[in-house]
Amino acid sequence: MPSVSPLPSLAPLALPWPPPARSRPIVPVFLPFRGCATRCIFCAQDIQTGRSPQEAGPDGILDKAGAALELRAAHGLPPAELAFYGGTFTALPAAEREACLEFVATALARGRIAGFRCSTRPDCLDESILSRLRQAGCTVVELGVQSFADTALRAARRGYDGATALRACALVRASGLRLGVQLLPGMPGVSPEVFLADVARALDAGADMLRFYPCLVLAGTGLARLWRAGDYAPWDMESTLDSLAQGWLLARAAHRPVIRMGLAPEASLAGAILAGPAHPALGARVMGRALLTAVRSLAAREAGGRLAERLEAPRACQGYFWGHAKELRPAWAELGLGPGNVRYAEDDALRLWLRP
């Protein structure tokens, strides 16, 4: 009796999943609290950057940045992007800001950098400052918006409202500079629903890039006092991963990168975290959730209840596909996928074959 051939696989479902664009290397210049008129309830820049305000005077910091740039040049590395973080750059005393811009001018003239970016508050901007920054070689202004929700901004004592944040976004865009928006999911008053609305508002306001910094309770902050009194509870890890994955997918749909998720690890930071969703692989965990969510949606829309026969994913996904410590394997198994029928390819799209 002749053998019966199995039914052929159906044409795969395709999901575009391009790898993140490579950005120019950044040399950070941390100026904790410099230019900040008040201290926000969640903020501990000295702990986050590993530098105290007393150590953060511009002269010493710029000397260190200059040494880092010269070391890069000595190793034949290409020009970097300088980035002023940790304070309110546009509210620095005029002499300090000009010292920074003079340093930038020298570094540009020597070919050590290709430009610079800075972070600031939405209520510390005007057209003249933005014009000066652009003339000096600035390419990106990142706004520490944290949230566009008035109730959350009041709870965190930010000192401005959502309308001010939107006006600042418009000012940066009108200046010809690229706009970055930093959001703080889990900040007092920011629920997952508020966070996703914040992402949508940032994208509608023209953000070219986003950062998601889940709110942590750090020693020595006003938030730590609220937490100890039982008046604040940070998001748990599962809520954080799911919410950030949804926010990441919103940004992806708008073709806007999320360039950072979670605080950069610092030796001084680990011991100062009292509570909150901190994890060294937070970004990879979020991207794994986002990919799983996108494939689930694709399968629910197109599969009609059929399980997957196999999946081919871009090789760039390999590091986060199964999740941290393989935490996503059970969820992938529900779709019919495991190590035996998942392959990686040099491609910018994910392809899913369904069982007949």
What's the token pair of residue 3?
């053998």
Lowest pLDDT segment from 136-145, 259-268, 321-330: 259-268
Could you say which of 258, 280, 302 is where a domain stops? Answer: 280
Q: What percentage of the chain reaches a pLDDT higher than 70?
A: 92
pLDDT at 37: 66
Do the domain assignments include residue 13? no
For the cut 50, the answer to whether the pLDDT of residue 6 exceeds it is no
pLDDT at 43: 81
Same-domain status, 350 and 275: no
pLDDT at 11: 84
Considering only residues 266 and 261, tell me which one the structure prediction assigns the higher pLDDT: 261
CATH code of 150's domain: 3.20.20.70
Same-domain status, 256 and 310: no
Do the domain assignments include residue 205? yes
* Calpha distance 75→25 (Å, rounded): 14
Confidence of residue 5 (pLDDT cuts 50, 70, 90): very low
Do the domain assignments include residue 139? yes
Same-domain status, 274 and 295: no
For the cut 60, the answer to whether the pLDDT of residue 51 exceeds it is no
For the cut 50, the answer to whether the pLDDT of residue 248 exceeds it is yes
Could you say which of 280, 301, 319 is where a domain stops? Answer: 280
Q: What is the mean pLDDT of residues 248-271?
A: 92
Helix 237-253, helix 282-302: angle, nearest 10 = 70
Confidence of residue 47 (pLDDT cuts 50, 70, 90): low
For 90-135, what is each residue's pLDDT tens digit? 999 999 999 999 999 999 999 999 999 999 999 999 999 999 999 9
Q: What is the mean pLDDT of residues 294-311?
A: 91
Could you say which of 239, 259, 280 is where a domain stops? Answer: 280
Same-domain status, 195 and 214: yes
pLDDT at 10: 65
Confidence of residue 2 (pLDDT cuts 50, 70, 90): very low
Same-domain status, 188 and 238: yes
- Residue 353 is which amino acid? W
Considering only residues 6 and 189, tell me which one the structure prediction assigns the higher pLDDT: 189
Confidence of residue 271 (pLDDT cuts 50, 70, 90): confident
pLDDT at 34: 79
User: Who contacts 42 (Cβ-Cβ below 8 Å, separation ≥6)?
Assistant: 156, 184, 187, 215, 216, 218, 221, 222, 223
- Give which of 97, 113, 29, 25 is closest to 63, Cα–Cα: 29
Domain extent, residue 334, equals 289-354
- Tell me the average pLDDT of the chain: 92
* Calpha distance 64→24 (Å, rounded): 20
Do the domain assignments include residue 16? no
pLDDT at 356: 83
Instruction: Give buried/exposed letters for 307-344 (b at 16+ CB in 10 A, else e).
Output: ebbbbbbbebbeebbbbeeeebeebbeebbbeeeebee
Q: What percentage of the chain reaches a pLDDT higher than 90?
A: 80
Q: What is the mean pLDDT of residues 48-65?
A: 67
Same-domain status, 263 and 331: no
Residue with tokens 């899913």: 352
pLDDT at 182: 98
Do the domain assignments include residue 12? no
Same-domain status, 168 and 201: yes
Pairing of strands 308-314, 349-354: antiparallel
Lowest pLDDT segment from 11-20, 54-63, 134-143, 201-210: 54-63
For the cut 80, the answer to whether the pLDDT of residue 44 exceeds it is no
Do the domain assignments include residue 117? yes
Same-domain status, 224 and 294: no
* Calpha distance 266→62 (Å, rounded): 20
Same-domain status, 203 and 320: no
Confidence of residue 32 (pLDDT cuts 50, 70, 90): confident
Do the domain assignments include residue 1? no
pLDDT at 140: 98
Domain count, the chain: 2
Same-domain status, 323 and 227: no
Same-domain status, 231 and 256: yes
Q: What is the mean pLDDT of residues 141-149?
A: 98
Q: What is the mean pLDDT of residues 167-171?
A: 99
For the cut 70, the answer to whether the pLDDT of residue 224 exceeds it is yes
Same-domain status, 221 and 297: no
Do the domain assignments include residue 38? yes
Residue with tokens 């009108």: 174
pLDDT at 4: 37
